[in-house]
Amino acid sequence: MESFVIEGGVRLSGTVRVHGAKNAALPILAATLLADGLFVLENVPDLLDIRSMAEILMALGVRVKREGEMLVVDARGLRSNVVPEALMSRMRSSIFLMGPLLARTGEAVLGYPGGCAIGTRPIDLHLEGLKKLGAVIHEYGGTILARAPRLEGTTIVLDYPSVGATENLMMAAALARGTTRIVNAAREPEIQELERFLNAMGARIRGAGTHAIVIEGVERLHPPRPHRVIPDRIVAGTLLAAAAITEGRIVLEDVIPEHLEAVIDAFRKTGARIEVAPDRIAVEGVRPYRAIHRLSTSPHPGFPTDMQPQLLAYLTQAEGTSVLVETVFDGRFRHVPELVKMGADIVVDYHTAVIRGPRRLVGARVRATDLRAGAALVLAGLAAEGVTIVEGAVHIDRGYHRLEETFAALGARIVRTTERPLLAPEGQV
Ligand code: UD1
């Protein structure tokens, strides 16, 4: 079991490059199944989730080779459309494979996806959308079997602008017969990135970034020229929060500031100084800083749910009472009891957290329960007095490449350790 050990109280300073976006790279990896050929993907971060997706592709016969930040994917060997259950349950994004496999092979057999423990995460929108495209879907036991000799274009109205469902349906519809319209589509930057990638493969898609995406199906797709994955806006946001909470001063390089508008706006409201240039952001934390009266997470371009835990950790040190409402996922406040252990004053009522600050944070042993909750605990540790041990580094590794090295390079005192689980002394429970 790996943990991060952090000695808080250092103001971060320096320049840091932001790595490629996990959530853009994952659907792009799934999209390689749509064409017979060799793909070169650049700026693909070496993260656990990316490795899991690569393992799934390899189990289907695809060859994946990493060379630094580049992945070379040879999809010519695709020989199976059955995703092994053990791999499927590792992460939720494996559901993306359903659309491409169906479109390319006419059939897909998958288990139910796993992923972060952040509440109920159904896949009904994915399945309903694929059914509208003509797939016949049987579910039995833990297995989903989908069949469609050829998908047929249609209009799909999503009940909710789900990121994953929008991506899955875009990939499936790219090879369908006729035109598909996805109405109430997600508008996240990763959707636009997938549109760019698929169009470079020969797809005919427009409208990504708006509520309606139109896909004119084509007969065949081909690998594009080498594709560079966009920078990770959530990693950038997390680093920005780290500078702000430590009253530090850092420069983020290789970022797309437009992808971070809601995040920048929220931190500016508290008083943090943020300057934006076309591909860099300079952040300077100030003390004291103001609470945020009320902020709700929402689909893009709203404040991202993937930054809620980090913002919440930051607001424990703000002057006054903040209210954060989580509208995207249920059960996404699992970092709260851990922050309270460190001295924060937070009360959660269903979807709403009320944070009273500032309260002095003191180092403690805390546990990361999911990726972004883990990031929030690391941020709290950076600002706390004394030593914080964040258990469950494995969750954080799913989305941040060697986070401890990134922070150490900015001056933080943070190391990774391997610990055995502590056993209770004999006679005690
Ligand atoms: C993606 C991101 C994740 C981010 C989330 C919201 C990836 C790999 N992951 O996840 O980091 O937190 O977007 O920005 O890109 N829902 C349904 N039925 C469905 C699908 C979704 O009810 O079939 C609900 C979910 O339970 C959730 C909401 O819709 O409450 C948003 O989920 P969705 O946008 O699909 O998130 P993901 O694609 O899983």
Q: What is the full per-residue pLDDT of the chain (429 aa) written as tens digits?
A: 899 999 999 999 999 999 999 999 999 999 999 999 999 999 999 999 999 999 999 999 999 999 999 999 999 999 999 998 888 877 778 899 999 999 999 999 998 876 545 455 689 999 999 999 999 999 887 789 999 989 999 999 999 999 999 999 999 999 999 999 999 999 999 999 999 999 999 999 999 999 999 999 999 999 999 999 999 999 999 999 999 999 999 999 999 999 999 999 999 999 999 999 999 999 999 999 999 999 999 999 999 999 999 999 999 999 999 999 999 998 799 999 999 999 999 999 999 999 999 999 999 999 999 999 999 999 999 999 999 999 999 999 999 999 999 999 999 999 999 976 555 544 444
- The DSSP call for residue 282 is E
Q: How far apart are the first and last CA of the chain?
A: 21
Question: Which has the closest alpha carbon to 159: 115, 207, 206, 124?
Answer: 124
Q: Which whole-number Å values give the CA distances from 328 to 160, 162, 263, 310, 351, in the listed order?
A: 10, 10, 16, 16, 9
Sign of CA dihedral 18, 252, 321, 380: positive
Calculate how far, in angstroms, residue 162's C-alpha sits from the geometric centre of ligand 1.
5
Give nearest CA residue, ligand 1 atom 20: 123
269 belongs to an annotated ligand binding site: no
CA of 121 to the centre of ligand 1 (A): 7
> Binding site annotation covers 254?
no
Distance CA 102, CA 137 (A): 11
Prior bond to 231 cis, omega within 30? no
| CA 88 centroid distance within chain | 17
Domains contained in the chain, CATH given: 3-18+231-417 (3.65.10.10), 22-214 (3.65.10.10)
Distance 247 CA to ligand 1 centre (A): 33
Tell me the two tokens of residue 223.
Answer: 């690998």
- Catalogue the active-site residues: 116
414 is in an annotated binding site: no
